[in-house]
Amino acid sequence: MKIPMEFRKLARGFHQGIGEVASSVDDMVDIAVSLLEPEEYRPAAAYLAELIRRGPGDPELMTIWERASPDIYFSSGDDLYVVLKSLSSHLNGLVVGLS
């Protein structure tokens, strides 16, 4: 599954020091999503929806994340999955708002 540029952009929003400005996963998600332009919401949301639907195992999920070139990594697939679900939910809300 090819990683779209929009997802790579989201992943790069998770940078060293994000914990200094974000006190929760939702805050981190807000910061990452703020890097996208409105026309990038749909492709990012579609990729996340497909990724979550497929439900890859932890090793594959962690590899996908690493291939997106983030600045931080998660200690487990479960932690990463929580972040991806939150990103998906946030983006879906924004996509609905564009309609």
The pLDDT tens digits of the residues spanning 29-72 come to 999 999 999 999 999 999 999 999 999 999 999 999 999 988 88
**Burial level of 32, CB count in 10 A (0-12/13-18/19+)?**
buried
pLDDT at 74: 87
54, amino acid identity: R
> Looking at the predicted structure, is the pLDDT value of residue 99 above 70?
no
Number of neighbouring beta carbons within 10 Å of residue 76: 11
* Domain containing residue 87: 5-98
Residues contacting residue 72 through CB under 8 Å, at least 6 positions apart: 14, 15, 16, 18
Q: How many domains is the chain partitioned into structurally?
A: 1
- Give the CA radius of gyration of the chain: 12
Between CA 65 and CA 28 the distance in angstroms is 15
Q: Could you identify the residue written with the tokens 């931080």? A: 72
Rounded Cα distance, 37 and 73, in Å: 24
Q: Which pTM value belongs to this model?
A: 0.88
